[in-house]
Every structure is written in C-alpha cells, then in structure tokens.
Structure 1
C-alpha cells in the first residue's frame, strides 16, 4: 500500500506540473486547470488511503461543505469580482493551514516527543498561514470597497507596531518549540500572526494591490509546504512549493513592472485617493471631448489601432463589445492589437482573462515591452479605463509617486482616445497627464455603452 500511495503521488505531481504548463496561454489554460484538478483529486485519494486515516464522516462532511460553497461561488462570480474571489479563496487556504497547525499542536501535546523539525515547520506554517488568512481578508475588503482603498496607517508608529507584533509571534513560537504546551501559547501565536497580517496589509494602497494578492498567494503556498513537511505529506510539500515558487516569481515580476521593491510595498503602499483635473496651481485644466461618431471615423481611416484595456473595461464588462468592434475594424483591413500592462486591473493577468473570455486571439495580445516600440506607428490608441499604466508622469515628473514605473507609451501614438466615466484618478490617486495631451480626446461615459455606440457608427460607415 505504501508503494501504491507513493506512485499515486508521483502521478499527481506530474499532472500538477503538466497542468501548470498549460497556463502559459489562454487557449490551453482551461485544459491545464482540468489536468491539475485531476492531479489534486489523485493526491486526495492517495492521502485518504494512508494507513490510520479515520473520521471518514467528518472528511466527507468537509468535502461536501467545500463543494456546496466553492462551486456556486466560482460559477456565479463576475469577472470584475475575480480579484476579490482570488484573495478570499487564497486566504481560506492560509487559514486552513493555520488550523491544521493548531490541531497538530493539540494532538501531539505541544509537539512533545516530536522531532524538532516538526515543531519548527508547524509553527512556521501557523504564523505564515494566519498572516495570509487575515491579510487576504483585508485585501478582499479593499478590493470589494468594504474598506477604504487608501493606505490606512498608524503614521510613525506603523513600523514599530509591525515589528512588535512579529517579535511577539516569534517569541511565542520559540517558547512552544522549547517545550511550552499551554494551549494559550498557540492561540496567542495565531492571534499575533493574524494581527500582523492585518497591520501589514492595511497601509497598502490600491495601486499595490495586484502585488499584494500575488505575495499572499506565495505565502499560502509556503505555509502549506511547511505543514506538509511537519505531517510528512508529500502532496502538501510539492503542491505548496509549486504555489510558493510560482507566486514568488510572479510577485517579483509584478513589483518590477511597477518599479517598486517588495519591501517598499510591504512597508506601506500608495493609492486609493481621488484626484481632480487640476494643475499644480489649482487651476482647472482643459480637456478635449469627442463623440462616438468622430471616434469611429478616426479609427475607420486608420491603418493600425491599439486597444489599451484597464479596470474600467472590466467594471463595464465591455470586453465582448470591444471584440465586436475589433472584428469590424479588421474587416476594413485595419490592424488591431491589444496592449497589456502587467499590473493593469486588480490582479495578475486580469486583462488577459477578460479578453480571452471574449475570444480575442492570443496573438493580438501584446505585452508592454513588445507593444511600446509599436506606438509610434499606431494611428489610434484607444484607452479603455486604463489610468496609471498610461500616465506619462511616470517618465516626466520626478516628483510623482509613480515616477520610474514602466508604462504603456500610448502618448507616442498619432492620436489617443480615452474612454472614461469622468476625470477620476486611478489606483495611485494621482492625476493622469495623458488626459491633457494635445493628441488626446476624451469620450466620457460607460465603456460598454460608448464602445457599443462606436460599433453602430462603424457599421454605418
């Protein structure tokens, strides 16, 4: 039986990795998810076959509750709310690991007679899992706008409080590992770690939220791997390391895309404010408005159009009508591409997911480094709800909080049309200099309605 279980684990790990490879493109992503899901099902079966496994009724009840809650939630969630769901589900994973660590503490009477590595790994999992759970819940609250997207800080006390809570959690872990078996010690550790998760994420503003989601995901993976080491569960170790490693790589890439270090983000982000269309002296700055008919005419006589999607497109659920517009332009012989910034939207890959849902060909999705050199040959750049990632201040204003952040250089296009409801700021809470460029026209209104009007105008041309 031991050999059979080992073989099942090897098969499941191979499916994990093969499924992960499928996530490199929208066309294979669904299949990759299914393959990885089959791998997880095999890993669960292998775990249930482990000698000494009992409490089948409780296991079945837990699985049933998970299915009843998880499946309808995943099926009904809107694409605009996908970042919130990712944050919430990721937090649940960290919370589960923290609870398992607590159970391990109880069943071993404070890790009595257990090897030192078991206690260390379990306590690490408890701290990191609790941080991930509570931090993810705060991220969910910010994304869902239950909590202000602005940085909520304690001012100069913020870092000392963070350090104090972290030290408290570590001290409690050391006391437990040294032989302390009072359950209040473990409860205190979980509470301290939970408070740490809250006080670390609260000061992070909306502009940094995509990086936070990725970082918390990586932490959940690491906590699962540590708990797998404590329980001698190969599935948890491998799956946790895959999540932790991939999440860490993604976090680093996201931070680089924002020209911000991970420590700087954790120390307190920026964003969530509301800017007004005003210059440094407070005067109202003029912008040029346009109409759907003028936009349609301008694009109809272009050779190349680049669509720049942002969170505004997600909120309006405009991806399908954008695809319809692109088909009409392509039928007229116009080249259409989509410029994707790594941190556009509220989670990694948000725009890719939305456009893939609308059956946009993967070949038309251009990453920032690839598309930036093409803007100079672009006749019309159509910016749909993207804000900070197109702000020229990142290159021209050393005093801007986003200075140095790599952006989509839409201002190099011959003409720029921005679709927005109004003049509000993006996640960074700063004014977008692109709106006042002489080449920029603003088409105000709901993105889906505006693009729909453009589509009707294109059909009439």
Structure 2
C-alpha cells in the first residue's frame, strides 16, 4: 500500500503529462510524442490510484483491469481509421455510464453512513469512500448530494447521446434529424422534471429520485442527439467529449479524487473549446447546433439545373498533365476507400513533374476533427502542403485543377447560394472557382447528410466515378 504522499505526487505528475499531451496534439509533428505522454500519464494515474491508501478488493479490481486492457487492445487492433469516430463516441458512452453508477453507489454509501449515525452504531466495515463520508459535516454532505446529482445527470445524457452518435456515425441509425412530436418541448419538460427531482432528493426524498432522474437524463441524451443532423456529428462528438469530461470531474469531487477532477476538467474544457472552434468555423451558433437547429429544412431548396457529366481516367490525366497548380480536397470517402496511399503516390508524381500540389482541409472534413490530417500523415504526405480552409480558400480562383475525393457538404456551393439549404451560411471550400474540378465519387447519390450538391452539375465539373483507390490507381500510370 502506497502512502498518500506518493499518490499526491503521482497525481501532479500525471496531470502535467496530460497537459503536455493536449498541448502536443495541436501540432502534427509532435502528436505522436503527445499521445505517449497521455499513455504514460494514464498508466501512472491508474497504478497509484489502485494502490493508494484505503483501496482494496484487488481480487476483483485486477482481473477487471486485465480484462478491460485485453478488450481495449483487441479493439484498437481491429478498428479501421474510418471507424475511429464511432469508436470515440462509444468510449464517451462508457465514461457517462460509469459516472451514473459511481454516483448511485456514492449515495447508497451516504445513506449507509447516515443510518449508522442515526442508530448510534459504529460501522465495522467502512469502504474507503464511506470512511470519507463519515468525516463530513452536514453541509459538506449537501455538497456531496449536489455532486451526485450532477454526475448522474451529465453522465446519463452523455451515455445515451454517445450511443446515438455512435449509431449515426456507424450508419446503424438514420443520419437525418428526427424527434418525437413536441420536439424541444419534450427536452425542456424532461429538464424541468429533472430539476424538480433534484430538489426533492436534496430535501431528503428516497433513492427513487435518482433512478427517475437518470431515466429522464437518458431520454434527454437520446432525444437531443436524435434531433441533430448527420452533418453536425463532428461537433456532436466533440461536445460529448466535453460532457464526459465534466461528468468525470463531478465524480472526482464526489470521491475526493484530485486527479480525476483535474483530468475531467481538462477533457471537459478542451472539448468545449474545440466544439466552439468548430461551430465558429461552420458559422453556426453552438446552442443552435446542440438544440438541433442545423440539419433541418428552412424552406424549399433551390432547383438544380444541368446534368452530371462523367469523365474517365485518361481525361483526368490529360488535365493534370497540362496543369501547373493542383489542389486536392479529401473527405470521408477517401477514408472509406483507404485511398490515402494512392493519393500520396499521385502527389509525389505530380510534384516530381514540377507542379504545385496542395491539400485543402475543411474543419469538419471526415467525421472527426483532424480525421483527414491523420490519414494524410499516415500516408507520408508532407505537412507543409496540407493547408486549412482559411489558408487556401482564396487561391481556388487561380488553381488549374481541383480533385475532390469523397467530399460533399464541405464543397457544396448551396451553403453560399441557397438561403433555404440546411447548410446555408456554413463556410465551404470554394472549389467551383477553379478552372476544372474533378469529383471522385462512387455514384450519383447525395453525401452523408443527404443534401444535394450543385457543384456536381456545374460546367467546369466532371464526375470521376468509381472506388477512389481504384480510380486513382488507374490514373497514376497515365500521369506524366
């Protein structure tokens, strides 16, 4: 058993490692080292917490840690990069559910201590947490109850919200916004009822209040995320990441665990900041997005004129051979086709021919922030030619060829041209301003959000149909 001094020192060390990890993730070149900071920090946190003072039950704890580690390792080895967004959502749900269970357990221990006090009895088998509760004054127990309520409510919303986000990202739940009759009024009613239950609980009502509170919060999480369109899922995942952090912080206060408080606050605040940055990049109000205001129809969408004109690999190769500047816009379709290596090979060939080649990355490209950056880094694409939207958007007018690979909403001119479009006002990559645009796409269907794209019908656009990796591999031998 380790002393409290060792545990406190380890908590500080782990907190520093977590901060270094978050800071390093802002730079692609430092990201790998930053991940290791996080891994080591979590290892330190788990070890020193598990063997700290007042902790027991190792006969159950150690097997659970081993089983969890094995399952995590197997999942990490099997999950493709295309499945990473839904994996992240699933992991958020675990944090939320854990917060609910811990909060319930904390209240049961609180009641156990109070019952012993009322009977003037001495509890012979205190758990570590019950021993902590037994030292608290009545006003401190009230704060404990508030922490329990917050842990249950935030954790339950996070759990069901993350499950629905997982379903939408995995294609198991319809990506279109759907709500029960009554819409937001149901969410508001459930939130008011939750507040009433919290007041009853704090006034001395039974454990049943926490059970009903959790049920209402489960409903809010489910209904809230069901009402958000698929195009908003990157923001939703980031938001749920923030929720899971605040749930962990609330439980950290409940358990008197400083490290859990710090870790939860880091996750919660970083997730909230990322959600804000993404909403700002999409020209969306954060509250509006979370309440399902994006992804819904505002009126009749503008009719699209023209037809989609197909082109083969030789036609695309001819345009590339004549071009001096090329911009590639990757999207989720590139990840699905696992075409990043073929893209990298094309880039090397074009640059060897003296052509300027760059990538344009939209803030919500893919289904997870940074998704495209990770794929391109994996394929050894140089960091310095991968540019964010704000850095490259004004250059499309002077670009000879743009190749769009598996993107839809982020290159949709309806966002700027059609005020009734569900994505109206969202900043997009203005690829249509280039001299020629080639769109690599499996077929004529709409994208993930189900929104039609006028880009596909413009005179300077051609559809390069087929699997992205196969299409690019067919293109490569034809490029000089």
Whether these two folds match at TM > 0.5 is yes
- Aligned residues of 2:329 and 2:407 also touching (Cα < 8 A): yes
CA deviation vs aligned residue, 1:215-259 (integer Å, no higher than 9, x gap): 111000011111111211111111101100110011111112222
Which residue number in structure 2 is paired with residue 341 of structure 1?
Answer: 362
Deviation at 1:209, TM superposition (A): 0.8
**1:145 partnered with 2:167:** no
SS in 2 for 1:221: helix
Which residue is equivalent to 1:385?
406
Q: Aligned Cα RMSD in Å? A: 1.8
How has the CA–CA distance of structure 1 residues 32 and 192 changed in structure 2, closer, same or farther, with 3 Å as cutoff?
A: same
Structure-2 residue corresponding to 1:33:
35
Q: Which moved more, 1:77-86 or 1:254-263?
A: 254-263
Corresponding residue to 1:164 among 160, 176, 189: 189
Displacement of 1:183: 2.8
Query: For residues 295 and 375 of structure 2, what CA distance do their matches in structure 1 show?
Result: 24
Note the alpha carbon deviations across 1:68-116, whole angstroms, 9 max, x for none: 2211111210111111101001111111111111111111118855532
* CA deviations over 1:167-205 (Å, ceiling 9, x no partner): 22222222222222x332222121111111111111111
- Tell me, in whole angstroms, the C-alpha distance in 2 between the residues paired with 1:240 and 1:124: 13
Per-residue CA deviations over 1:116-155 (Å, capped at 9, x if unaligned) read: 2221122101110111011100111111121111111124
The answer to whether the 8 Å contact 1:206/1:272 transfers is no
Answer whether contact 2:294 2:423 (CA < 8 A) is retained. Answer: no
Q: CA deviation at 1:50?
A: 2.7
Comparing 433-442 with 132-141, greater Cα deviation is found at: 433-442
Q: Note if 1:223 corresponds to 2:247.
A: yes
Instruction: State the Cα distance separating 1:430 from its structure 2 match.
Output: 2.0
Q: Tell me, in whole angstroms, the C-alpha distance in 2 between the residues paired with 1:341 and 1:326.
A: 19
- Paired with 1:399 and 1:170, the residues of 2 have a C-alpha distance of 37
Kindly indicate whether the alpha-carbon contact (under 8 Å) linking 2:17 and 2:38 is maintained by their aligned counterparts in 1: yes
User: Could you list the per-position Cα deviations for residues 355-408 of structure 1 after superposition, in whole angstroms to 9, with x for gaps in the alignment?
Assistant: 121121111110000011221221111000111111112112222221211111
Superposed CA deviations along residues 336-370 of structure 1, whole A, max 9, x for unmatched, are 11100001111111111211211211111100000
Q: 1:13, CA displacement in angstroms?
A: 0.8
Contact 2:302 2:418 in 1 (8 A): no
Can you give the 5+ residue segments of structure 2 that lack an aligned partner in the other structure? Answer: 115-137
Gapped runs of 5+ residues in structure 1? none
Question: Alignment partner of 2:376: what SS?
Answer: helix
Partner SS state of residue 183, structure 2 = helix
User: Aligned to 2:307, what secondary structure does the other structure show?
Assistant: coil
Partners of 2:165 and 2:296 in 1: CA distance: 13
> What are the residue-to-residue correspondences of 1:331-370 with 2, within 5 Å?
331-370=352-391
**In structure 1, how many angstroms separate the alpha carbons of the residues matched to 2:275 and 2:477?**
41
Change (3 A) 1:37 1:256: same
**CA 1:286–1:5: 2 relative to 1, 3 Å:** same
Contact 1:25-1:362 at 8 Å conserved across structures: no
Residue in structure 2 matched with residue 300 of structure 1 by the alignment: 321
Q: 2:145 aligns with which of 107, 119, 123?
A: 119
Deviation at 1:11, TM superposition (A): 0.8
Alignment check: 8 A CA contact 1:420 1:446 kept: yes
Moved more, 400-409 or 104-113: 104-113
Are residues 1:205 and 2:229 paired?
Answer: yes
CA distance in 2, matches of 1:164, 1:225: 26
Provide the rounded CA distance (Å) in 1 between the counterparts of 2:462 and 2:415: 20
Q: Is 1:206–1:270's contact at 8 Å kept on the other side of the alignment?
A: no
Look up the match of 2:159.
133
In structure 1, the partner of 2:125 is: none
Say which one has the larger Rg: 2
For the residues of structure 1 that align with 2:442 and 2:235, how far apart are their CA atoms? Answer: 26
Where does residue 78 of structure 2 map in the other structure? 76
Look up the SS of the partner of 1:82 in the other structure.
Answer: helix
Deviations 1:309-344 (A, max 9, x none): 011111111111111111111111111111000011
Is the contact made by 1:207 and 1:272 (CA closer than 8 Å) also made in structure 2? Answer: no
Q: Is the 8 A contact 1:18 1:32 kept in 2?
A: yes
- CA distance 1:201–1:72, shift in 2 (3 Å): same
Match of 1:61 in 2: 63
Q: In structure 1, how many angstroms separate the alpha carbons of the residues matched to 2:322 and 2:305? A: 33
Partner of residue 180 from structure 2, selected from 154, 157, 175 = 154
Question: Is the 2:306–2:458 Cα contact (8 Å) retained in structure 1?
Answer: no
What CA distance in whole angstroms lies between the structure 1 residues aligned with 2:329 and 2:317?
16
SS of corresponding position for 2:111: coil
Contact 2:100-2:156 at 8 Å conserved across structures: yes
Distance 1:111 1:251, change over 3 A: farther
Shift in CA distance, 56/187, structure 1 to aligned 2, threshold 3 Å: same
Match for residue 376 of structure 1 among 377, 387, 397: 397
Count of residues in correspondence between the two structures: 451
Normalising by the residue count of structure 1, what TM-score does the alignment of the two structures yield?
0.94
- Is 1:48 the counterpart of 2:50? The answer is yes
Contact kept? 1:270, 1:428, Cα under 8 Å:
no
Q: Give SS of 2:262's match.
A: helix
Q: CA offset at residue 285 of structure 1?
A: 2.9
Runs of 4+ more than 4 Å apart? 110-114, 269-273
Q: Distance in 2 between matches of 1:96 and 1:356?
A: 34
